[in-house]
Amino acid sequence: MSGMSATEKFFWGGVLGVFAIVALFATARHGEGASYWGGLGVFAILIGLIFYMITRANFGKREDSH
């Protein structure tokens, strides 16, 4: 992720967030069953990816600093 600019990280975080919300809406339309649990699983994975992107971000750090 170090090769991505801040704008690209913001964009991909937003895209993942939109897909996570869509997964929740899809889950809400279905009752118990595979589609319900699958939608919750997709939501959890997408939120996990967003948190992963946040943890990999270097806020105010230069590339040459340790």
Residue 49 makes CB contacts below 8 A (sequence gap 6+) with: 16
How many domains does the chain fold into? 1
Mean pLDDT of 5-28: 88
Q: Which domain, by its residues, includes 46? A: 6-56
Does residue 1 form part of some domain? no
Instruction: Quickly list H helices, 1-66.
Output: 6-29, 34-56
Q: CA 42, 45, 49 angle in degrees (round to 5)? A: 135
Does residue 31 form part of some domain? yes
Confidence tier at 53 by pLDDT (50, 70, 90): confident
Mean pLDDT of 44-63: 81
Does residue 63 form part of some domain? no
Does residue 62 form part of some domain? no
Prediction pTM value: 0.72
